[in-house]
Homo-oligomer: A and B are copies of this chain.
Amino acid sequence: MSEALALTLDSDFAAWWAWRRDAHPFTVTRIPFAELEEWAFDPATGNLGHRSGRFFTVCGLRAGADVRPILHQPEIGVLGVLTKRFGGVTHCLLQAKMEPGNVNTVQLSPTVQATRSNYTRVHNGSSVRYLEYFQGRGRVLVDTLQSEHGAWFHQKRNRNLVVEVDEDVPPHDDFRWVPLAEVGTLLGVPNLVNMDARTVLACLLARHAPEPGTALLSWFTDAKARHDRAVDLVGLDSVPGWRRTGTELRHPHGGTILAAAVSAPTREATAWTQPLLAPPAPGVVAFLGRTRAGRTELLVRARPEIGCRDAVELGPTVQSATGADEPLLALTLALAGEPARVWYDTVLSEEGGRLWHAESRYLVVDAGDAVVDAGPDFRWAGLGELAGLLRHSYYLNVQARSLLAVMLAGGRRA
């Protein structure tokens, strides 16, 4: 990654990044479940949870015959990006932050990235740096609840906040003012900008977008009506198909639950153990795009995911968490073989606080006239119109928001 950085970013940023990456003497070690501190399997349900009842719980979710493991974290986290104009140019205060599940441990993260458990100090850590700016001290540019992965989390959402200040804010060593105009370049570097930063930046970049049209909203409502189904939380013991050893719970479709010990002097808590969910394979996340009358359009898919708060959100054209087949995946990968069609192609990480080594290949590929009729769950929509949905909650899923950040930032890397 440092080579890619050296190629694409100014040497000043690259030097800071290397300095911070090497400054953190953290270690992440896989451990047996028996060595988890404060976490335990509930004998009545089989659920794996924290003694305090906070953080998250690994449990089951049932929708008809579909019963699978899920992470349940009924808390609203704060993802906050602080902005300030220097010489009229908007800059974002971003953070070199470690997460135990990251493949490369440190990624570029929002100014504040805190679960409610973090910022109310359930695990006795130090207070969250810069949090006060998101509690009334700046001008609010963005403030909306947005979802996390509906395949892995039950109705999880975070508060996406962007605040602008005029006052002097000295950056701590782990923080750096990054010009908003450079976000596109940063997004071209594999596994650099973390998922939480991507979703907040998408909302920021979209904030002047026009109101979406009635036709798009109506199609979305219709998809909810078609896909709506009742969902119940159940005990992890009720989920069939697990194979459990002392170090992992492996599910044929749902990935693997494992445990890790973390030592990280620069995090709010300096050492802890926790479970993590490892997806079964790297994912593929892709928008097919096209240009019509000078307008960029993307093929969105109304995607029912078991953890959606309201049945359906809009996802990218392709979203294969495991690389498994799904409609338009083969076409997308075939088109991506033609370099002139590739608007974006970079490996990015999903969030590393509860997911272990979760990487996906993110693509935007020019489909031209290659897609004729993909069915009722697919729709071509203008980039600006999709951006307008970001002012409101639960329209666009987190994978779609990542790729919208790429498109709105003008970041294309083939």
Contact = CB atoms under 8 A, between A and B. Distances in A.
A104 interface: no
A413 B33 CA distance: 68
A165 to B, nearest CB: 15
Contacts of A225: 76, 159
A117 interface: no
A222 interface: yes
Interface stretch (A87-95, A137-145, A257-265, A292-300): A137-145
B76 A144 contact: no
Contact of A143 (B75, B211, B217): B217
A310 interface: yes
Interface residues of A, number: 29
A74 B222 CA distance: 16
Main secondary structure of the interface of A (DSSP, over half): mixed
A84 interface: no
B230 A145 contact: no
Contacts of A143: 214, 217-218, 221-222
Contact of A215 (B140, B215, B224): B140
Taking the full assembly, how many copies of this chain does it contain? 2
A211 B391 contact: yes
A221 B310 contact: no
B224 A76 contact: yes
A83 to B, nearest CB: 14
A34 B54 CA distance: 45
Contact of A228 (B75, B233, B310): B75
A207 B222 CA distance: 18
Given A211-B211, A225-B159, A310-B309, A144 B74 contact: no
A221 B309 contact: no
Nearest to A207: B214
Nearest to A389: B392
Contacts of A214: 140-143, 207
Nearest to A163: B218
A354 B408 CA distance: 47
Contacts of A230: 74
Given A211-B211, A309-B309, A217 B75 contact: no
Nearest to A78: B225
A266 interface: no
A105 interface: no
Interface string A376-414: 000000000000000111000000000000000000000
A209 to B, nearest CB: 10
A102 to B, nearest CB: 26
22 contacts: A74-B228, A74-B230, A76-B224, A76-B228, A140-B214, A140-B215, A140-B218, A141-B214, A142-B214, A143-B214, A143-B217, A143-B221, A143-B222, A144-B217, A144-B221, A145-B310, A159-B225, A207-B214, A211-B211, A232-B233, A309-B309, A392-B392
Interface of A: 74-76, 140-145, 159, 207, 211, 214-215, 217-218, 221-222, 224-225, 228, 230, 232-233, 309-310, 391-393
